[in-house]
Amino acid sequence: MPEHTLPFQDAPACPGPDPEPRGPTRFPVPAGAVDTHAHVIGLPPAYPFVGQRSYTPPAAPGSAYIRMLDQTGMTYGVLVQVSVHGSDNRLLLSTLRQHRERLRGIAVMPLGLPAADYEQARDAGVVGLRLNVLYGGGIGFDALAEYGALARDMGWHLQFLIDARQLPPLAATIAALPVPYVVDHMGHFPTSVGTGDAGFQTLLGLVRDGGWAKLSGAYRNSVDGLPYADTTPYARLLAEAAPDRCLWGSDWPHVSHWKPMMNVGDLLDTLYDWVPEDDARHRILVDNPHRLFGFGAAP
C-alpha cells in the first residue's frame, strides 16, 4: 500500500479551512498575484472518493475558492486535482470552465486515453499533469518518461507530489524530461531531517538546473508549527537557487491537516519571512506563475 494511504474505512475526516480567509498583514498582495496550488472537492455519490486514501475531506466548491482568492487579494488560481478524486477530473474541469479567465488546472490522467480526452482537458484550462506518490489516489513515477512525452505533445508541464527523500534515484530521469516540472511543497518532508539531507540537496540540484519548486506546504513540513520559522532555511535556499522558477501556493483547503487550522493570511505572512525583498516576492507571486501557467493568454 502506498505511503500515507489507508483503507477507506480508516481514513479519518479532516476539518475544513478557516471560513474567513484574509490577506497578509506584512505586505500588500501585488496585482496579478497567483495562488498556484489549491483543490476543489465534491462529495459522493456525485463525486466518489477513492477507496485507498489517508483522509476524508469536506466539500470545497469552486465558489468557496473564488471567495478565498477575492478575500486574500489574489487575482488568479491554479487548481490541482485532489488525491481523493483519483483520476476523476470532472469537478476540476467544470470549475475551470466556469472561471476561464482566473483559473488554470493540473489534472491526473492515465496514459492511453483517447486524444480527445486530453484535448478537452486542455481546452478547459488544464496546463499540466500531476504525478503523486503520497496520500493515495495518484499516479506514480513508473511511467515518468511516457508522461514527459505526453506533456510535451500537449504543451503541458509535470507536477510532482513526492517526499524529497525519494528523489535521489529518480533525479537523472527527472532531469532528462523534455518539459518543465514542478516539485510541490518544497519537497514535502519534515524540517527535522535538515537542509543537508540527500533528498533536499537533490531537490536543490534539480531546481538549480532548471526545475521549478512550490514554496508551499509550510504547515505540512514544519515540526514547530505557526509561524513555521523552521521552514525558512529550506524556502530561502530554494528561492536563492531559482529566483525565476519558484512559486507560491496556499494549498487550500488544507486537507489532511488536523493541527490548529491556519488562515491563508498566515501562510502569506510566512512567505514574507521566506522572501522579504519586494522584487523577489513579486517574481514568485506574479512573474513566475504567469510565465509557467499562461495567465493573460487564452486557456
Residue 136 has pLDDT above 60, yes or no: no
Q: Report yes or no on whether pTM surpasses 0.85.
A: yes
Round the average pLDDT of the chain to a whole number and report it.
Answer: 94
Summarize the confidence of residues 94-119 as an average pLDDT: 97
What's the pLDDT at 298?
46
Length of the chain: 299
Quick one: which of 38, 41, 48, 42 has its CA closest to 8?
A: 48
- Hey, what's the torsion of the CAs at 220, 133, 62, 218, to 10 degrees? 20
The H-assigned helical ranges of the chain are 62-72, 90-98, 115-124, 144-154, 171-175, 198-208, 218-221, 232-241, 264-274, 278-282, 288-293
Residue 92 has which C-alpha cell?
476540476
Active site residue 251: yes
User: 9 or 50: whose pLDDT is higher?
Assistant: 50
CA–CA gap between residue 9 and residue 46 (Å, rounded): 19
Asked if pLDDT for residue 51 goes beyond 90, the answer is no
Per-residue burial over 14-49, b = 16 or more CB atoms within 10 Å of its CB, e = otherwise: bebbbeebebbeebebeebbbbbbbbbbbeeeebeb
pLDDT at 185 over 70: yes
- Would you state the pLDDT for residue 299? 42
Cα(245)–Cα(225) distance, rounded to whole angstroms? 26
User: What is the CATH code for 6-293?
Assistant: 3.20.20.140
Q: What number is the average pLDDT over the span 10-34?
A: 96
- The continuous run of DSSP H or E covering 38 comes out as strand 34-38
Does position 138 have pLDDT exceeding 50, yes or no?
yes
Quick check: 91 and 47 in contact, CB under 8 A? Answer: yes
The three cell numbers locating residue 111: 496514459
List the grid coordinates of 288: 513566475
CB 241 within 8 A of CB 200: no
**Helices marked H in 99-251:** 115-124, 144-154, 171-175, 198-208, 218-221, 232-241
Whether 297 has a pLDDT exceeding 90, the answer reads no
Q: Using CA of residue 248, residue 251, residue 256, residue 261, what is the dihedral sign?
A: positive
Res 172: pLDDT:
95
Q: Which of 251, 269, 273, 279 is catalytic?
A: 251
**Higher-scoring residue by pLDDT: 298, 173:** 173
Rounded CA-CA distance 7/14 in Å is: 15
Compute how many other C-beta atoms are within 10 angstroms of the C-beta atom of residue 269. Answer: 19
pLDDT at 2 over 50: no
Torsion angles phi and psi, residue 160, rounded to 5: -120, 125
Which SS3 state, helix, strand or coil, does residue 36 take? strand
Distance between CA atoms of residues 244 and 287, nearest Å: 8
Domain-wise residue ranges, the chain: 6-293
Q: Are 245 and 210 in contact (CB under 8 A)?
A: yes
